[in-house]
Amino acid sequence: MRGLPVILGENPFNPDGLILIEASVIDFVERYAQRSIASTEAGGILLGHRKGKHLHVVCATEPSTADRRSRFRFQREIEPHQTIATQAWRQSGQKMDYLGEWHSHPESNPHPSNIDLTEWKKITSRASECLVFLIVGNANEHWLGTGRDRTVLIANRVVSG
Ligand SMILES: [Zn+2]
């Protein structure tokens, strides 16, 4: 699907709502795909716009040096990513918003772990709106979901390349 402007998913919480992800965002997060045995999990936040019922992801942050990364675990430090989110929000005239989270998995057909689901429950319980969650697999297949009120559902499997 590379080359197309957006990756589409339907929001399971909102039948008419689409999740749009710019191909440049997929290209960016795939740079952190765990293709080698030694590579560690990576992650960051997703930034973009809420347009009516639709969620449009236009940017992702890279892992910060403060994040704790291992083969099967990624723990994001809130502060560096939050700073970038706040800057983007200011610079965009308050149009670019925090939309969710991404991280990599060392598997070709990625699924959320129990740790992921526990973490996402916490994140969605603090958010007032629907959030996007993306797990980047190591073979151009990714898991895309949305969450609200402690529930996260799969929206699509994204195949690229
Ligand atoms: Zn995970």
Q: How far apart are CA 156 and CA 132, in angstroms?
A: 11
What confidence score (pLDDT) does residue 4 get? 54
Would you give per-residue pLDDT tens digits along the chain (161 residues)?
Answer: 445 567 788 899 988 899 999 999 999 999 999 999 889 999 999 999 998 889 999 999 988 888 888 888 888 887 888 888 888 888 888 888 899 999 999 999 999 999 999 999 999 999 889 999 999 999 999 999 999 999 999 999 888 87
What confidence score (pLDDT) does residue 95 get? 82
What is the DSSP secondary-structure string of 101-116? EEEE-SSSS----HHH
What confidence score (pLDDT) does residue 1 get? 42
Distance 74 CA to ligand 1 centre (A): 7
Which amino acid is located at 116 in the chain?
A: D
Active-site residue, 41 included? yes
The pTM score is 0.90
Q: How far apart are CA 145 and CA 7, in angstroms?
A: 13
Distance 28 CA to ligand 1 centre (A): 18
Which amino acid is located at 99 in the chain?
A: L
Q: Are strands 54-60 and 18-22 parallel, antiparallel or unpaired?
A: parallel
Which amino acid is located at 42 in the chain?
A: A
Distance 104 CA to ligand 1 centre (A): 7
Distance 54 CA to ligand 1 centre (A): 25
Distance 14 CA to ligand 1 centre (A): 24
Q: Report the candidate in 111, 116, 144 with the shortest Cα–Cα distance to residue 130.
A: 144
Residue with tokens 């590579």: 39
Question: For residue 60, what are the β-bridge partners?
Answer: 46
What confidence score (pLDDT) does residue 148 get? 95
Q: How far apart are CA 28 and CA 135, in angstroms?
A: 13
What confidence score (pLDDT) does residue 5 get? 63
Catalytic residue among 22, 30, 41, 119: 41
What confidence score (pLDDT) does residue 92 get? 86
Question: For residue 151, what are the β-bridge partners?
Answer: 148
Q: Report the candidate in 136, 128, 126, 134 with the shortest Cα–Cα distance to residue 154.
A: 134
Report helix, strand or coil for 89: helix
Q: How far apart are CA 144 and CA 111, in angstroms?
A: 9
DSSP for residue 93: T
Distance 114 CA to ligand 1 centre (A): 8
Task: Please report, for the chain, how many H helices and E strands are present, in that order.
Answer: 3, 10
